[in-house]
Chains A and B, each alone.
Chain A
Amino acid sequence: EAEVAQSPRYKITEKSQAVAFWCDPISGHATLYWYRQILGQGPELLVQFQDESVVDDSQLPKDRFSAERLKGVDSTLKIQPAELGDSAMYLCASSLSPLAGTDTQYFGPGTRLTVL
Protein backbone atom coordinates (compact mmCIF):
# COMPACT_ATOMS: atom_id res chain seq x y z
CA GLU A 1 0.00 0.00 0.00
CA ALA A 2 1.37 3.41 -0.99
CA GLU A 3 2.34 5.68 1.88
CA VAL A 4 3.49 9.23 2.45
CA ALA A 5 7.19 9.27 3.23
CA GLN A 6 8.89 11.79 5.50
CA SER A 7 12.45 12.30 6.61
CA PRO A 8 14.06 12.62 8.99
CA ARG A 9 11.85 10.99 11.60
CA TYR A 10 13.58 12.83 14.42
CA LYS A 11 15.60 16.03 14.45
CA ILE A 12 17.32 17.76 17.34
CA THR A 13 18.76 21.20 16.73
CA GLU A 14 19.86 24.24 18.63
CA LYS A 15 17.94 27.47 18.43
CA SER A 16 19.01 29.81 15.64
CA GLN A 17 20.04 26.87 13.45
CA ALA A 18 18.38 25.99 10.16
CA VAL A 19 16.40 22.77 9.72
CA ALA A 20 14.69 21.16 6.76
CA PHE A 21 12.10 18.44 6.45
CA TRP A 22 11.29 16.41 3.37
CA CYS A 23 8.03 14.83 2.25
CA ASP A 24 7.24 12.50 -0.63
CA PRO A 25 3.49 12.18 -1.18
CA ILE A 26 1.62 9.20 -2.54
CA SER A 27 2.20 8.95 -6.27
CA GLY A 28 -0.43 10.82 -8.24
CA HIS A 29 -1.62 12.96 -5.36
CA ALA A 30 -1.85 16.55 -6.53
CA THR A 31 -2.43 18.10 -3.13
CA LEU A 32 0.16 18.21 -0.37
CA TYR A 33 -0.25 19.56 3.14
CA TRP A 34 2.17 20.42 5.94
CA TYR A 35 0.67 20.40 9.44
CA ARG A 36 2.31 21.25 12.76
CA GLN A 37 1.26 19.31 15.84
CA ILE A 38 2.33 20.77 19.16
CA LEU A 39 2.34 18.30 22.05
CA GLY A 40 -1.14 17.98 23.51
CA GLN A 41 -2.84 19.67 20.58
CA GLY A 42 -4.32 18.68 17.27
CA PRO A 43 -2.49 19.31 14.01
CA GLU A 44 -2.78 22.76 12.43
CA LEU A 45 -2.27 23.45 8.76
CA LEU A 46 0.86 25.39 7.87
CA VAL A 47 0.70 25.24 4.09
CA GLN A 48 -1.27 23.54 1.33
CA PHE A 49 0.00 22.96 -2.21
CA GLN A 50 -2.01 22.17 -5.29
CA ASP A 51 0.61 20.75 -7.65
CA GLU A 52 3.46 23.26 -7.31
CA SER A 53 1.31 26.21 -6.28
CA VAL A 54 0.58 27.36 -2.75
CA VAL A 55 -3.17 27.62 -2.13
CA ASP A 56 -3.12 28.30 1.62
CA ASP A 57 -0.20 29.49 3.72
CA SER A 58 -2.13 31.79 6.00
CA GLN A 59 -0.78 30.12 9.16
CA LEU A 60 2.82 29.80 7.99
CA PRO A 61 5.20 32.09 9.94
CA LYS A 62 6.77 33.46 6.81
CA ASP A 63 9.56 35.32 8.57
CA ARG A 64 11.22 32.03 9.41
CA PHE A 65 9.36 29.24 7.60
CA SER A 66 9.44 28.46 3.92
CA ALA A 67 7.99 25.64 1.88
CA GLU A 68 8.41 24.57 -1.70
CA ARG A 69 7.18 21.90 -4.06
CA LEU A 70 9.17 22.71 -7.16
CA LYS A 71 8.07 19.95 -9.52
CA GLY A 72 4.71 19.33 -7.94
CA VAL A 73 5.84 16.08 -6.37
CA ASP A 74 7.98 16.06 -3.24
CA SER A 75 8.19 19.00 -0.87
CA THR A 76 10.58 20.61 1.57
CA LEU A 77 9.69 22.63 4.66
CA LYS A 78 12.45 24.81 6.09
CA ILE A 79 12.82 26.73 9.32
CA GLN A 80 15.51 29.38 9.65
CA PRO A 81 16.29 30.27 12.36
CA ALA A 82 14.67 27.68 14.61
CA GLU A 83 13.20 28.87 17.90
CA LEU A 84 12.36 26.95 21.07
CA GLY A 85 8.65 27.26 20.30
CA ASP A 86 9.10 25.38 17.03
CA SER A 87 9.49 22.09 18.90
CA ALA A 88 6.65 19.97 17.55
CA MET A 89 5.71 17.14 15.24
CA TYR A 90 5.61 18.18 11.59
CA LEU A 91 3.18 16.10 9.60
CA CYS A 92 2.93 15.85 5.85
CA ALA A 93 -0.25 14.65 4.17
CA SER A 94 -1.37 14.21 0.60
CA SER A 95 -4.65 13.75 -1.20
CA LEU A 96 -5.80 13.05 -4.72
CA SER A 97 -7.92 16.11 -5.36
CA PRO A 98 -9.54 18.59 -2.98
CA LEU A 99 -12.36 19.09 -5.45
CA ALA A 100 -13.63 15.58 -4.85
CA GLY A 101 -16.07 15.44 -1.98
CA THR A 102 -14.73 12.16 -0.72
CA ASP A 103 -11.12 13.32 -0.90
CA THR A 104 -9.09 11.69 1.87
CA GLN A 105 -5.88 13.04 3.33
CA TYR A 106 -3.22 10.42 3.97
CA PHE A 107 -0.60 11.26 6.57
CA GLY A 108 3.06 10.44 6.82
CA PRO A 109 4.77 9.34 10.05
CA GLY A 110 5.91 12.88 10.84
CA THR A 111 9.17 14.52 11.84
CA ARG A 112 9.62 15.14 15.56
CA LEU A 113 11.60 18.38 15.98
CA THR A 114 13.25 19.30 19.26
CA VAL A 115 14.86 22.73 19.53
CA LEU A 116 17.34 23.14 22.39
Chain B
Amino acid sequence: AQTVTQSQPEMSVQEAETVTLSCTYDTSESDYYLFWYKQPPSRQMILVIRQEAYKQQNATENRFSVNFQKAAKSFSLKISDSQLGDAAMYFCAYRGFYGGATNKLIFGTGTLLAVQP
Protein backbone atom coordinates (compact mmCIF):
# COMPACT_ATOMS: atom_id res chain seq x y z
CA ALA B 1 0.00 0.00 0.00
CA GLN B 2 1.10 3.52 -0.71
CA THR B 3 2.03 5.83 2.16
CA VAL B 4 2.90 9.51 2.44
CA THR B 5 5.01 10.91 5.26
CA GLN B 6 5.43 14.52 6.31
CA SER B 7 7.96 14.69 9.12
CA GLN B 8 7.56 18.40 9.91
CA PRO B 9 4.39 19.00 11.92
CA GLU B 10 5.07 22.74 12.07
CA MET B 11 7.28 25.21 10.24
CA SER B 12 7.79 28.94 10.49
CA VAL B 13 9.15 31.45 8.00
CA GLN B 14 9.67 35.18 7.93
CA GLU B 15 7.74 37.17 5.40
CA ALA B 16 9.63 37.46 2.08
CA GLU B 17 11.90 34.53 2.98
CA THR B 18 12.00 31.04 1.47
CA VAL B 19 10.82 27.86 3.16
CA THR B 20 10.92 24.21 2.14
CA LEU B 21 8.40 21.62 3.27
CA SER B 22 9.40 17.97 3.12
CA CYS B 23 7.49 14.92 1.97
CA THR B 24 8.46 11.33 1.37
CA TYR B 25 6.30 8.56 0.00
CA ASP B 26 6.38 4.87 -0.61
CA THR B 27 4.99 3.08 -3.63
CA SER B 28 5.77 0.16 -5.87
CA GLU B 29 4.23 1.86 -8.89
CA SER B 30 6.36 3.51 -11.54
CA ASP B 31 3.79 6.03 -12.71
CA TYR B 32 1.80 8.23 -10.35
CA TYR B 33 1.00 11.81 -9.43
CA LEU B 34 2.10 13.86 -6.46
CA PHE B 35 0.37 16.95 -5.15
CA TRP B 36 0.70 19.69 -2.60
CA TYR B 37 -2.58 21.00 -1.23
CA LYS B 38 -3.03 24.07 0.97
CA GLN B 39 -5.73 24.22 3.65
CA PRO B 40 -6.12 27.72 5.13
CA PRO B 41 -7.90 28.03 8.49
CA SER B 42 -11.64 27.48 8.08
CA ARG B 43 -11.36 27.43 4.29
CA GLN B 44 -11.38 24.74 1.70
CA MET B 45 -8.38 22.83 0.55
CA ILE B 46 -6.91 24.05 -2.71
CA LEU B 47 -4.37 22.55 -5.07
CA VAL B 48 -1.01 24.29 -4.99
CA ILE B 49 1.03 22.22 -7.41
CA ARG B 50 1.06 18.85 -9.19
CA GLN B 51 3.92 16.66 -10.39
CA GLU B 52 3.67 13.78 -12.83
CA ALA B 53 6.15 11.05 -11.91
CA TYR B 54 7.04 10.39 -15.56
CA LYS B 55 8.23 13.98 -15.96
CA GLN B 56 11.81 14.68 -14.91
CA GLN B 57 11.30 18.43 -14.87
CA ASN B 58 10.23 19.83 -11.52
CA ALA B 59 6.87 21.59 -11.53
CA THR B 60 6.63 25.30 -10.76
CA GLU B 61 3.67 27.59 -10.13
CA ASN B 62 4.70 31.19 -9.57
CA ARG B 63 6.33 31.30 -6.11
CA PHE B 64 5.82 27.58 -5.55
CA SER B 65 8.17 24.92 -6.86
CA VAL B 66 8.93 21.31 -6.07
CA ASN B 67 12.05 19.20 -5.83
CA PHE B 68 11.01 15.77 -7.07
CA GLN B 69 13.53 13.00 -6.44
CA LYS B 70 11.94 9.84 -7.83
CA ALA B 71 14.67 7.42 -6.80
CA ALA B 72 14.64 8.78 -3.26
CA LYS B 73 10.83 8.99 -3.25
CA SER B 74 11.06 12.55 -2.05
CA PHE B 75 8.81 15.46 -3.00
CA SER B 76 9.50 18.77 -1.27
CA LEU B 77 7.72 22.08 -1.73
CA LYS B 78 9.62 25.35 -1.84
CA ILE B 79 7.78 28.59 -1.23
CA SER B 80 9.72 31.67 -2.28
CA ASP B 81 9.05 35.23 -1.16
CA SER B 82 6.67 33.99 1.54
CA GLN B 83 3.54 36.05 2.12
CA LEU B 84 1.19 36.27 5.09
CA GLY B 85 -1.47 34.58 2.99
CA ASP B 86 0.71 31.50 2.67
CA ALA B 87 0.02 30.62 6.31
CA ALA B 88 -1.92 27.36 6.24
CA MET B 89 -1.75 23.62 6.66
CA TYR B 90 0.04 22.02 3.71
CA PHE B 91 -0.67 18.45 2.72
CA CYS B 92 1.40 16.28 0.45
CA ALA B 93 -0.69 13.73 -1.46
CA TYR B 94 -0.19 10.77 -3.78
CA ARG B 95 -2.46 9.41 -6.47
CA GLY B 96 -2.08 6.41 -8.68
CA PHE B 97 -1.68 6.94 -12.40
CA TYR B 98 -4.78 5.08 -13.53
CA GLY B 99 -8.33 6.16 -12.82
CA GLY B 100 -11.24 4.33 -11.28
CA ALA B 101 -10.86 2.84 -7.85
CA THR B 102 -7.24 3.89 -7.57
CA ASN B 103 -8.01 7.54 -8.09
CA LYS B 104 -8.18 8.38 -4.41
CA LEU B 105 -5.70 10.79 -2.91
CA ILE B 106 -3.48 9.46 -0.15
CA PHE B 107 -2.49 12.29 2.15
CA GLY B 108 0.30 12.89 4.60
CA THR B 109 -0.41 14.25 8.07
CA GLY B 110 0.30 17.84 7.06
CA THR B 111 2.70 20.64 7.93
CA LEU B 112 1.36 23.75 9.61
CA LEU B 113 3.17 26.77 8.16
CA ALA B 114 3.29 30.03 10.07
CA VAL B 115 4.44 33.22 8.36
CA GLN B 116 5.94 35.84 10.64
CA PRO B 117 5.63 39.52 9.63
Which chain A residues have a beta carbon within 8 Å of chain B's beta carbons? Answer: 3-4, 31, 33, 35, 40-45, 48, 50, 55-56, 91, 95, 97-110
Contacts and interface: CB of A to CB of B under 8 A. Distances in A.
Contacts of B37: 107
Interface majority SS (helix, strand, loop, mixed), chain B: mixed
B103 A110 contact: no
Nearest to A97: B99
Contact of B104 (A45, A107, A108): A45
Interface residues of B, number: 24
A14 to B, nearest CB: 24
Given A42-B109, A42-B110, A104-B50, A55 B101 contact: yes
Contacts of A35: 105
Nearest to A6: B44
Contacts of A42: 4, 91, 93, 107-110
Nearest to A46: B104
Nearest to B97: A101
Nearest to A102: B50
Contacts of A95: 103
Given A40-B109, A42-B4, A42-B109, A99 B101 contact: no
Interface majority SS (helix, strand, loop, mixed), chain A: loop
Given A101-B33, A101-B97, A109-B42, 7 more contacts: A41-B109, A42-B107, A43-B45, A91-B45, A100-B99, A103-B103, A108-B44
Indicate the member of A42, A45, A48, A107 with the most B CB atoms within 10 Å.
A42
A67 to B, nearest CB: 14
Given A42-B110, A101-B52, A31 B47 contact: no
